[in-house]
Structure 1
Amino acid sequence: MEQEQCGVQHLHGPGRHLCSRRYRDFDELHRHLKHEFPDFTFPKIPGKWLFQLSEQQLDTRRRGLEQYLEKVCSVRVIAESDIMQEFLAASDDEQENTNTVNDVELKVLLPDRSVVTVTVRKNSTTDQVFDAVVDKVDMPEEMTQYFALFETEDYTFERKLQSNEFPHNIYIQSYGTATPTCIKLRRWLFSMNRERHVCGDQQMLNYFFWQAVDDVGRGQIKPADRLYELKALQEQEKKVEYLALVRQLEGYGELSFPHCGCDSRKEGHVIPVVSFDSFKLHACKEDGSLESQVIEFPWTGIQQYETDDEGMSFNFEFIRTGKKPRWVKIFSSYFVYLYECFERIKTELSWDKDVMCFHGDEFIQEDT
């Protein structure tokens, strides 16, 4: 009886491993949730058994517990509650004390739309998970510098994971969604010259091609009147020709951030856009509706940049011809990601010192 009640339940959600917990943990979770959400009618959890269960009975109970989690997590306020998140992301100390399994399976979406599953520790960092992924797909070591792990924030934006984050914690927070994973392997490269070079590798060509197809589909890349031509090349899987065409289009190789506040605008917001050629701030309304004004800063005109953790802002200083340098503050929850983009551009510019950089104060305007 004691052995059965203390047995570890390895639970899976929609296409993912969620957690490994004991039955008594579910009983405790159920009681805590009923106390926290008294107005919600909770489904029953599978009952206790007095005698040791057979394999079939254990499997039936496991599936019952999975269904219980699926039902209660379909209610967003419950799924995102501290009680549920702490249950799904049990601490490593707790797992060691109860001798439960600490290895988990984590699914990662690849640029070619396939999904790879890696076995990692619950407390594996982004760098460790990334190493497991590129090893699983046999990516040449020299090519790994052009990719990184991202979290899907919504249909049009992915956030690059910081090296010290724990992807499994992010992974389980998306439980209850229809997609098998919120973790993606995506390009981490702005330079088109370097992209053309690495596309000599067939795996890189395939990854860049399919990511470009997806970016066109979701509107990051603006095909204008070339959409029919792009679709024809896609259907024929003419990857080299497709990429040659898509590189000419607006939005290719750019990262557009969600609209946010900026100290240069008394009213409205800006949309930060990072590309290899420049950094742009596209004026918009507070609801994100685009306006016509765009300020473009050449990289050669940006003197320094920093993050302000307390103010949750990314700040940069740029040169204005005949005037004192000026600081601009961007109030974005993605201020660390913006900083990483600037650092990445700095690195890529050092790869190709002959790249043409834009000059002239026609790109440096006054207030938005």
Structure 2
Amino acid sequence: MSAQNRIPVHEPDIGEDEIQSVLAALRRGEISGSFGKALPEFEERFAAFAGCKFGIAVTSGTTALQLAVAAAGIGRGDEVLMSASTNIATSLAAYHNGAVSVPIDSEAVTWNLDPDLIEGLITTKTKAIIPVHLFGHPCEMDKIMAIARRHNLVVIEDCAESHGATWQGRMTGSFGDMACFSFYANKIITTGEGGMVTTNDAALADKLRLLRNLGFGKPRFYHEVPAFNFRMTGMQAALGLAQLAKIDHFITEKRRVAATYGEFLGNIPGIQLPAELPEAFNVYWMYAIVIKPEFGRSRDELAAILSEQGIETRTFFCPMNMQPFLRAQDGHRDIPCPVAEGLWSDGFYLPSGNQLDRPSIARVCGAIAKARR
């Protein structure tokens, strides 16, 4: 299969506006994250988009999570509850701060964490919860926030995949004490690499900025806290500004792609399609499906057939209760997560780029329909 006939899982949607924005930042000399106008403007505008007062731009979604956990004062011996089905970056945020990840199994409809399992996992060591808005569908944040308030837990939303998604009309990222976004190349908007922590707490925003920038004090080279160098560059922020101006269009296109997949796949037995609960606005970061026994082939068999035809796919995430280095960590709790384990074995996502046209989606779905036994 030639490269030009392949359908990738995602392609960045970059145009002349982004090129000119980055060039302008370069001409202004904004090559670092220490000065210039693009970075603070991007932080302000994206925070406002997410329904927050403050934005702290960083090098990635992964470092955004690590920074947020550090700013919350979470450390060795503490436990952090989090979605079992998530990218490893969520657990790394706890791990690199010395804390233990405690996975919460998924529920079978939206594949997000099951709120009904949270309170049974809370101990005296529990300090925070990180709900992950998986593949662009928001978690049930009203339930999660009520539990967190009852137990005095910090809430850090993992919004790496949910830019623009809402729950009960409210933006993901605006519920918790902090929220972490990714601007990696395959996200709703991109800065190439990059991320941001958003918050409505001025004191937390100050602490996040301090920890992001090596903990410089007064005088400058006097350091009271061990911090990080997680600064985003002005060039990346300039790219982010141009992307942010198009985010409504990007989300509309994501939902168009999802609707078209639903039209073609809805009548094929043995496929569970992504949900959109009545209270939710799903941005469909990736169009994920789960292969059921009625399909007649396994997920891996179907993925191999699609790959032979030039159609790329990616599996769901290996759940946190199965990750070897987490299982070897001191303080590890062996929590069964049967739903998340089933998603890992039977789920994958299909090509989901903004620019995917109807004939390409029809080609993907035709190959899936033909593969069914």
Q: TM-score by structure 1 length?
A: 0.28
Q: TM-score by structure 2 length?
A: 0.28
Work out which of the two has the higher radius of gyration on C-alpha atoms and give 1 or 2: 1
| Structure with larger RCO (C-alpha < 8 A, sep 6+) | 2
